[in-house]
Amino acid sequence: MKPKQTTPSTSTLPPKPRNLFPVWLAALLALLWLIVHDLEISFEALAYGLADMGEYFSRYRKPDFSELSRYLDLMKITLATALWGTVFALVVAVILAPLAARNLAPHPLAYRAAREILNFMRAMPDLLLALIFVAALGLGPLPGALALGVHTAGFLGKFFAESLERVGKGVYEGVTSTGANFPQIVMYAGWPSIQREALGYLLYIMDRNVRMASVLGLVGAGGIGLALHDTLRMFNYGQSAALILIILGSILIIDYASAWLRRRLS
Amino acid sequence: MSIISIKSATKRFPNGFEAIKGISTEIATGSFTVILGPSGAGKSTLLRLMNGLETTTSGSVHVTGETLSKSNLRKTRSRVGMVFQQFNLVERLSVVTNVLTGRLAHRSWLGSLFYLFRNEDIEIAQEALARVGLTDKAWSRADKLSGGQQQRVGIARALAQRPKVILADEPVASLDPVSSEEIMMLLREICDRDGITVVVNLHQVDLAKRFADRIIGMNSGRVVFDGTPAELSPLTLQTIYKRDEIENDTNLDLALSYA
């Protein structure tokens, strides 16, 4: 065996690899300008409009909290809608995610099917789903919870599946080698290995669902959004302002709570 | 009586690499066999054929009299415990839960969905933990243990299966010399006292010589030596560790002079 002789050349560097970043940046800026031009977006109108907007927002100056207890009840309904939607998403995701993880799926067909179902659920906007469910089930929080559940099950299932795919091959092999079957491998090697990540994703989805549940009321899916919809339609700015503040406050609280919980977990 | 018999087995991986190029061998019941060979010789693949973690491309594998096939894969695995180089424990689970996974094959999936185990399973797990000397660590998380301790949990998991055979794939390759010694002694003792057949893949020639009843030497997918440790001469070591493309391998001579 002859060791290969290499003479290190210290005098010249190899040619510098070409950096295309400036070209891409220029292309992006050109595209943006073209879009503004094409859609005839006028920044002048925006400047004039600012004054009008200021006048419109000033109508919300005096929030009217006279019906506070009713509003808080509505907020509770909205939170319950979000919670039920999240639980529904969790149940569906826990069932589908192991099938949608390439390294776990018992059969390639099961993998494809689970993936496509998750993709489909994710692709359906929850606002659209809420409209459909409201039409089918009538006004109220149930269609809202279902809409949130279906849409976020798609997300949660994908997140879980990707986490399950990242678990080391050896961990699955260790449990497989004892003669465990598919559900046992999932329960004893899969979920325990990703429990922290999974809880983090779940909190994120809960957080998102609270925000979305308030909006879903606007299409008739109950809760505080429906009340906001009504007061806005009646030009009742004071009450609208109060409702918006309550929504904002709740979202802030949920946001901090879930951030705190996630910090505790890691 | 042989508990495992392999009949003209070959294994070709999807990428075209032929890891096992026709091996026929028998493993005697209650024996302690060490498979020696350089990295990439196919030792791991051969071991993994014995519990169906890999399937043969041609030829067949028989364990406790049954031919390995898709339909009896899980049943066979439940009778054959496996110990891994990287321990392959579920790190977030407690030591005792890891050991209890050795009982899963005997339980329905519904009960195990809720982490419910029967008292007899828990007793078996306790016994296995006592056997490897880790009773006091039962409720520690598996990843809080040292390498040697984790490997002992791996062995306890295999013991909890109440297996006929334990396969150990490089069980000491990630351990320090003292832990390696302890693990090998534990495996030998399990073989002697419980009559469980043990097959171990090893890198270390000295450990193989000291612990094995029988040594199988492998090189590039073939068995090149099969005999007792006493029969393992420097010359046979040369054939086991021979590197294909190199004729006068001074590094090989140097390495083997210490073996």
pLDDT at A1: 47
Task: Determine the distance in angstroms separating the CA of B249 from the nearest CA of chain A, rounded to an integer.
Answer: 8
Q: How far apart are CA B90 and CA B99, in angstroms?
A: 10
Q: What angle do CA A246, A251, A252 make, to 5 degrees?
A: 100
pLDDT at residue A243 is higher than 80: yes
* Distances B218 to A26, A235, B42 between C-alpha atoms, Å: 61, 86, 7
Task: Determine the distance in angstroms separating the CA of A210 from the nearest CA of chain B, rounded to an integer.
Answer: 30
- Report the residue of chain A nearest B93, measured CA to CA: A192
Question: Among B82, B90, B157, which Cα is nearest to B127's?
Answer: B157
Interface check for B87 against chain A (CB to CB < 8 A): the answer is yes
> 3-state DSSP: chain B helix, strand, coil percent, rounded to 5?
40, 25, 35
- Mean pLDDT estimate for chain A: 87
Highest mean pLDDT among A158-167, B104-113, B199-208: A158-167
Task: Determine the distance in angstroms separating the CA of B89 from the nearest CA of chain A, rounded to an integer.
Answer: 6
Please report which helix (H) or strand (E) contains residue B75, including its range. Answer: helix B73-79
Yes or no, beta carbons of B92 and A192 under 8 Å apart: yes
Residue B247 three-state SS: coil
Instruction: Identify the band that residue B235 occupies on the pLDDT scale cut at 50, 70 and 90.
Output: confident
Determine the residue among B50, B54, B109 to mutate to test chain A binding: the one whose Cβ has the most chain A Cβ atoms within 10 Å.
Answer: B109
Task: Determine the distance in angstroms separating the CA of A209 from the nearest CA of chain B, rounded to an integer.
Answer: 28
Interface check for B113 against chain A (CB to CB < 8 A): the answer is yes
- Report the residue of chain B nearest A195, measured CA to CA: B92
Interface check for B37 against chain A (CB to CB < 8 A): the answer is no
Instruction: Identify the band that residue A4 occupies on the pLDDT scale cut at 50, 70 and 90.
Output: low
pLDDT at B244: 64
Q: How far apart are CA B243 and CA A201, in angstroms?
A: 51
pLDDT in tens, A164-201: 999 999 999 999 999 888 999 999 999 999 988 898 89
Q: How far apart are CA B46 and CA A20, in angstroms?
A: 50
Highest mean pLDDT among A74-88, A250-264, B65-79: A74-88
Q: Compare CB distances from B77 to A178, A187, A193 and report the shortest one's residue.
A: A178
Task: Determine the distance in angstroms separating the CA of B114 from the nearest CA of chain A, rounded to an integer.
Answer: 9
- CA gyration radius, chain B: 19
Q: Compare CB distances from B77 to A171, A179, A195 and report the shortest one's residue.
A: A179
DSSP class of B230: G
pLDDT at residue B168 is higher than 90: yes
Task: Determine the distance in angstroms separating the CA of B231 from the nearest CA of chain A, rounded to an integer.
Answer: 31
User: Which range, of A97-111, B188-202, B240-254, averages the lowest pLDDT?
Assistant: B240-254
Q: Phi and psi at residue B224, in whole multiples of 5°?
A: -110, -10
Instruction: Identify the band that residue B186 occupies on the pLDDT scale cut at 50, 70 and 90.
Output: very high
Yes or no, beta carbons of B74 and A171 under 8 Å apart: no
Yes or no, beta carbons of A180 and B82 under 8 Å apart: no
Yes or no, beta carbons of A178 and B87 under 8 Å apart: no
Interface check for B75 against chain A (CB to CB < 8 A): the answer is yes
- Report the residue of chain A nearest B113, measured CA to CA: A187
Q: How far apart are CA A148 and CA A150, in angstroms?
A: 6
pLDDT at B248: 66
pLDDT over 90 for what percent of chain B? 30
Residues 6+ apart with CB under 8 A from A114: A96, A97, A99, A100, A105, A157, A161
pLDDT at A6: 54
pLDDT at residue A145 is higher than 80: yes
Q: Which residues of A touch B47 (CB under 8 A)?
A: none
A·B CB contacts under 8 A: 87
> 3-state DSSP: chain A helix, strand, coil percent, rounded to 5?
75, 0, 25
Label residues B6-38 b or e (16+ Cβ within 10 Å = b). beebebeeeeeeebbeebebebeebbbbbbbbb
- Specify the higher pLDDT residue, A264 or B29: B29
Yes or no, beta carbons of A192 and B90 under 8 Å apart: yes
pLDDT at B112: 81
- Mean pLDDT estimate for chain B: 87
Q: How far apart are CA A24 and CA A30, in angstroms?
A: 10
Residues of chain A in Cβ contact (below 8 Å) with chain B: 1, 168, 170-171, 173-184, 187-189, 192-193, 195
Interface check for B105 against chain A (CB to CB < 8 A): the answer is yes
pLDDT at residue B40 is higher than 90: no
Instruction: State the complex-level ipTM.
Output: 0.88
Q: How far apart are CA B28 and CA B53, in angstroms?
A: 21
Interface check for B84 against chain A (CB to CB < 8 A): the answer is yes
Q: Determine the average pLDDT of the residues in B130-159.
A: 90
Yes or no, beta carbons of B51 and A177 under 8 Å apart: yes
Instruction: Identify the band that residue B175 occupies on the pLDDT scale cut at 50, 70 and 90.
Output: confident
- Beta partners for residue B223, in sequence order: B218
Determine the residue among B64, B73, B78, B88 to mutate to test chain A binding: the one whose Cβ has the most chain A Cβ atoms within 10 Å.
Answer: B88
- Specify the higher pLDDT residue, B69 or A89: A89
User: Which range, of A14-23, B47-56, B80-89, B235-244, averages the lowest pLDDT?
Assistant: B235-244
Determine the residue among A1, A177, A181, A266 to mutate to test chain B binding: the one whose Cβ has the most chain B Cβ atoms within 10 Å.
Answer: A177
Pair B223, B217: CB distance under 8 Å = yes
Task: Determine the distance in angstroms separating the CA of B51 from the nearest CA of chain A, rounded to an integer.
Answer: 7
A40-43 long-range contacts, Cβ below 8 Å, gap at least 24?
A: none
Q: Compare CB distances from B74 to A179, A183, A192 and report the shortest one's residue.
A: A179
Yes or no, beta carbons of A188 and B101 under 8 Å apart: yes
